[in-house]
Amino acid sequence: MEMGADIIAGALAAMQTYPHKNLLVVDLGTITTITPLTKNRECLGSTFIPGIGTAMNSFAVKATKLFAVEIITPKKCLGRSTAESMQAGLFFGHLGAIKEIIQRISAEIFPHDQPLVIATGGFAKLFEREKIFNHIEPDLILKGLKIVHKKS
């Protein structure tokens, strides 16, 4: 199985921090990756979607009349201006995708033993009030890199 160094680092840190638990590591960075890890320390693959910042950049680059907006947690799903509409779509679209992927991976891989869902990455705290994660570990990848460095 092919895996990036960031996924491996996150997996190592997650398994060390939460031993003997089924886990889903959600890394919210340039790309949002969702990686299931079994309590037996098996990494079963990953699912990738464009990160929320990457999606926002595509508005500014690909749509001639749109522009970059601040990525925020909007109060409402329905925007009343172009900027608010973009912010709502970015946030709630990403939230919906993450929830759906978590639900599907949990049903496929962990049907009888629900995983702990761990969020990391630069946009993890953006979704904190949504309560879709059991734990937010903003520096999980750095912790994993530290583990790798100590072992080498």
Tell me which residue of 123, 118, 101, 122 sits closest to 25, measured CA to CA.
Answer: 118
CB atoms near residue 92 (< 10 Å): 16
Phi, psi of 75 (to 5 degrees): -75, -30
- 6 noted as active-site residue: yes
Count each helix (H run) and each strand (E run) in the chain, helices first.
Answer: 4, 5
Only one residue has tokens 């939460």, namely 18
Active-site entry in 6, 27, 113, 139: 6
Catalytic residues: 6
